[in-house]
Structure 1
């Protein structure tokens, strides 16, 4: 082990040394920030995209945009120049942009909100505290579609946030114009008499896939948010009362083989600005009936399937709560945690699929001194199942999930505009004598003043109060060079045996320590051959703490690039050159199974999405140092943009594992594995027809089929290897099918207000009968388990600042 550990440390040091010896760049020089002084106006402004109000002629202009990607630092062309003006009044700020471009080159696909599609774009990035920590980014396409997000350096862009603002575009003889109004209630800023905001203006010239910024963004530096310009001149404004009430009503008709059921629901979401820094979000009587379906799969591994969060309350503005990786929101309202105890001749009448959420609230925000505070609380109801005695007919109820409270608390102090120290705590408290859990994390993220080097790390501690109390911890340290063409990073983790955050978070592996390293090279400007080019090499080595056995040894390298036609390509190779051991697959403490050496590779091609027809293709293969064992597959999909309103795409994923070795059962003292072939085919179709930027029809279809065919059984030996098993005769073949069809109509009839009509049918079917005909399997699934749902939902946003005038 010591020799191998030395090899890992040597690899990391070599990466660092290579990057330093190959090039010795000077520290980046951040250009002087541009400054724009805004104009105050008392004139009435109509947001129609025409820019015909007289005050626009007197407003100061922001010009001379500079390319961010791909040719970093190149000035914009005169025939594609950008001219931006900004004004303000007591209600909000106004942006007027003149964007020059030949109409023959303009792209303006109409999409749903937050979907960029294939269009030209203009946007403003605003930071009301000018601290380089968080942007409100509001973007408009040439088709009039709005995109908005909250951006942070740690978590990137969060498009689940939907602000309330106004925009309009208009085609002109020189190109197009944009007019925007951003009410003060949509953003955050201090109470100072004289405001100084961070600002940058963004433009994408889509036909050339070129992105520009008003204040130059140097690609040599990793931190984009630190490179904003300055907006001055706003004086004597006050943050308004931020109170939004969003009542909703919805109706559902559900039909399946059990009959027809009709449900009516009503409730309200509340958003209240406690002060200029903090916001309260609450949901009363939640309704998640129209939430996007989960892509369920056949899961043969030792860990649960991690599902995406599709409920808006748990996705919007949750960057604070995601710090430290302790919070997995799907735990709230998931399947019951308790197990049913059945007596002789008893069975469960109906298993609850999920726990009902009674209510939830979150308070989040950041003070003018950079202290972010987040509090999230949710309560789920007590849930019982009905158990029947099949002989006597008597029934009884048993609790499978008590009343439970879920809580997240976050303190995040930012300083020096690019660094932070955070404390995170999560807890789950279940009523009565049921299991409770608590986890805490201390995090730090330190960057040099010039954003050239990073040092980050964390320490996490978990406590479980159950029949047997357990405490555990994990720690991490990471260092990186974050500027220049040549970059490197490295670090390590230590996770104890009893570290467990899975009551509120999600964590698969524990009881290990590892080291990892990375080296990368990129071009910052196009060459004669490439628009972009990125090379990456990384490795990770991981040991089980108690035995010292190597449970992961991986080295990989990849190249990604785009050509002058804006087609994207990539190729990669992965090597696992050392035999390792898996401590999770046996599902038994202190047992393990060996993993053979293996190697493999992949490549992909993605043609330019600007074209009406585009295509993606991504094959892969892996070969194992084990008799006839290999894996291969591909994903592929054509995309058809038939017009600016109509779009269709098809995707297929195919995967095949030959002679895979997987756990199937425990028989007496034996752990039974199977030598099996696993085949997975997933087909999906999506389509969109947009009437305009507020009104769209959308369709999604997914058919997933996966089956596992047992070839022979094996007994796992104490040394992690196998012996043939000729006595075990159970049927452990798997045949899993999942079908989903969604057809929806969405109309944003007013800011923040929406009508949604949805027809959905879905089916999930599992059996141990193998049938290798994909059409027969689909027919069998639809005949036996199809569920139909038709629903209508209406929500209406009431802004207190407007509603008070109604009275």
Structure 2
């Protein structure tokens, strides 16, 4: 009944929102000028040229002077929407059989104020200009090419409404130069880097824009209003491209590397591999990699995780990032495809003796991977990945003897995704299948599932020019393996089938498979000043995605309602302002009420380009099904929190941002103070320093400690933890040219924790905290041991041997010298430094703990990698 009620309620919200629309004409705002510019169809006609420009950013070639048409008539999008721009801009587009050439003139009556700043590729720095091309003409996706005033390239893909994929890196040329009254952009994009239908004459969607950093002003050739529900379908059009000869694209990127690791038995090591692309058709591309290496990738941030939830890390490896938008299937916080599962560190650690040394592989070797992606003229999108990872062995040595033990089996991963657009992308129907198959030959690895299969469907429909929408995702999973493997899955923190107070759950040690399903239904109004979106998210207890996906937790139903009031028109001292009110309610899949919360958010952007965020959140109580790590669910009293975050004008050379969040629990013990401070200093046009610093001071009165057997029953022990954590992310970047750079990343991290006020969980869901827990008492003995005792004088836990206090420090850093010596070809020199220490004692000062890193021996690794790109 609960599910039927929620689904009906959500359907009513979507239906009422849709039926209240009074007209089929798309009204973007009350400003008729905005409506006029947004509704005008704008067309640019490209001109074929036999004269090839030299790409140097000067725009002084004969073709720019004599061929084609310079077109201006840009309009301001922000901060003063639909007004005349403060500076004029012109564009010209030429083409030949192989390339598309684009020139942009960005006039400026104060050229000394043009912000010409070098930064990393795909980083928006200073003044910029660029073009986006919907070469599929599906009104949903586009390829964008931008150049900063300093000449750095920024390319990306547009995905859906307001999604962007900055990880897509095409091979193209772009240069910029600054003159006395303007700065200039010159680009050359091979048609091989685009995806388009194979026909005689083309019509593409086109968006050209310019960013004036000091004014935070965006000017556009065809206005896309700031409150539009999507971008690509409002693009202007590019006509005139005819008779492009189809050429099957074939790119190769071989690499060679040498690596030295301090303390390693074999130094140095060498390796090689190959990446490549094959244009199967003009619509579809096959990417492949053999023996890939990702040594230049930035290290993950340090985390000391005291929860039962898996820490989510972003993907950073190029092969699994570039062009992977088609493979995305996200439902709530979960993913059907989480590419970091491929090549992850082995999960099995062998037993070894005191006189033995264990050497574990850092990651599972990827033998090869194939990726087919693309979209045809009929709106059919296809994405496929197949990857094989090697059987890995740990090496155990003693007295000059060596033995190997398998820690990861040979595994094959398959991911397939398909989507079909209808009605110019207003309706999308899709599906996805993932499969993991392990070749398990060792009995000790039978704790791993032998196979998993996940299938999903998704449907999205937009109406009234995408102002209203409904979005559905549903998926099913089945995992098979030994009784041990399925038992471990049931006991895993994502499922906890052993939870004693859950009537809808039961642990079965004889199962050899587990299955379940989940999904998300979302809909509402997502454009205009007032927006309202409702959603329902659910996971059955047996759903499992983690072989090649990401599942944070199963066994829940969550309902959300979000309302937003957003005004983008300047008023008084404000450029824009934003109000949001969210409501959320949670249940277990068996109907247990797990609590809910209300959240309010105000964002103000001032005319001096400062921003202020104010957030308040109130939860009335929570029933946490994961807090006791497989034990009964635990009631957590309600809490109230507030956050203030302020940032200065980011276009200045010195930029600050900082905030504080304060939380207080109704139990009057648990609390949290979270402090954030960020600074960025632009020193000239080539050198940037930045630092993100965080300090968390947290008291948790319900921190899980352990479980123990007392009077033939399992008892769960919690305590009060006082924890302090400090972390800093330091970056220094120096650019000699856009192609030659030196970058440093450092992440010092320290966390200290002290436990006290130990208690046994009694009535875990009682509203009375004194009935929820029974106190434990510490006794110290002359022998130096400390024990926990109950009030009835029963010993419970030896704190001397299981002291939960901790003092953890870690430092991770990368130094990368990068030289793109030829378009698409790169030389990397990488120095990685890592040091880490965990101790079972409490250090009162987290700053003193951080200083302890100086006493830790570092592991250093040095790598030289050379790649060479060429096309056949």
Same fold (TM over 0.5): yes
**Matching residue within 783, 791, 809 for 1:737:** 809
CA distance in 1, matches of 2:531, 2:847: 50
Cα contact 1:382–1:399 (8 A) shared by 2: yes
Q: Give the corresponding residue for 1:677.
A: 722
> Offset at 1:696?
1.4
* 1:538-553 alignment, distance < 5 Å: 538-546=582-590, 548-553=591-596
* Aligned residue runs from structure 1 range 637-716, under 5 A: 637-668=678-709, 669-716=714-761
Q: Cα deviations across residues 72-129 of structure 1 (Å, max 9, x unaligned)?
A: 222324xx11111111111111111111102022111111211112x11110101112
Distance 2:429 2:355 in 1: 54
1:660/1:678 contact within 8 Å kept: no
Q: 2:314 aligns with which of 293, 299, 308?
A: 308
The answer to whether the Cα contact below 8 Å between 1:254 and 1:788 also exists between their aligned partners in 2 is yes
Residue 497 of structure 2: aligned partner:
none
Mapping 1:3-402, distance limit 5 Å: 27-28=26-27, 30-56=38-64, 57-77=66-86, 80-101=87-108, 102-117=110-125, 119-153=126-160, 156-256=163-263, 261-324=267-330, 325-338=335-348, 340=350, 342=351, 349-386=358-395, 397-402=404-409
Distance in 2 of aligned mates of 1:499 and 1:658? 33
Gaps of 5+ in 1: 801-807
Work out the CA distance in 1 between the residues paired with 2:24 and 2:622: 40
Instruction: Find the aligned partners of 1:678 and 1:694 in 2 and give their Cα distance.
Output: 44
- Structure 2 Cα separation of the partners of residues 421 and 576 of structure 1: 37
Residues 577-616 of structure 1: pairs in structure 2 closer than 5 A? 577=620, 579-588=621-630, 591-616=632-657
Q: 1:574 to 1:15 in 2, by over 3 A?
A: farther
2:41 and 2:160 map into 1 onto residues whose CA distance is: 19
Tell whether 2:577 aligns with 1:570: no
Q: Distance in 2 between matches of 1:353 and 1:662?
A: 31
1:426 lines up with 2:443 in the alignment: no
SS state of the match for residue 313, structure 1?
Answer: helix
Mean Cα deviation higher: 469-478 or 763-772: 763-772
Extract structure 1 runs of 4+ deviating beyond 4 A: 4-26, 342-348, 392-397, 773-776
CA deviation after TM superposition for structure 1 residue 489, in Å: 0.3
8 Å Cα contact 2:693-2:726 kept in structure 1:
yes
**Secondary structure, counterpart of 1:307 in structure 2:** coil
- CA separation of 1:347/1:512 partners in 2, compared to 1, >3 Å: closer, same or farther? farther
1:427–1:438 Cα contact (<8 Å) kept: yes
* CA deviation after TM superposition for structure 1 residue 773, in Å: 4.2
Deviation at 1:779, TM superposition (A): 5.0
Shift of 1:387: 5.6
- Of 772, 776, 788, the match for 1:725: 776
Shift of residue 411, structure 1, vs aligned partner: 0.8
Q: CA RMSD in A?
A: 2.7
Q: 1:709 deviation in Å? A: 0.8
Structure 2 partner of 1:445: 460
In 2 relative to 1, CA 21–709 (structure 1 residues): closer, same or farther, beyond 3 Å?
farther
CA-CA distance at 1:24 after TM superposition = 10
Could you say if the C-alpha distance between residues 449 and 89 of structure 1 is closer, same or farther in structure 2, counting changes exceeding 3 Å? farther
* SS at structure 2 position matched to 1:692: coil
Sort the Cα spacing of 1:155 and 1:174 in 2 relative to 1 into closer, same or farther, 3 A.
closer
Aligned 8 A contact 1:753 1:796 in 2: yes
Q: Distance in 1 between matches of 2:704 and 2:729?
A: 30
Distance 1:444 1:176, change over 3 A: same
**Pairing of 1:755-770 with structure 2 (within 5 A):** 755-770=827-842
2:345–2:361 contact (8 Å) kept in structure 1: yes
CA distance in 2, matches of 1:764, 1:139: 41
Quick one: structure 1 residues 205 and 463, their matched pair in 2 at CA, closer, same or farther if it must change by over 3 Å? same
CA distance 1:14–1:194, change in 2 (3 Å):
closer
TM-score (norm. length: structure 1): 0.93
User: Hey, what's the Cα distance between the residues in 2 that align with 1:129 and 1:676?
Assistant: 56
| TM-score, normalization by structure 2 | 0.86
Q: Is the 8 A contact 2:14 2:524 kept in 1?
A: no
How far did 1:286 drift? 1.3
How has the CA–CA distance of structure 1 residues 177 and 309 changed in structure 2, closer, same or farther, with 3 Å as cutoff? same
Q: Give, in whole Å, the separation in 1 of the partners of 2:413 and 2:237.
A: 41
The Cα of 1:49 is off from its aligned counterpart by 2.3
Aligned residues between the structures: 789
Rounded to whole Å, the distance in 2 between the matches of 1:186 and 1:384 is 40
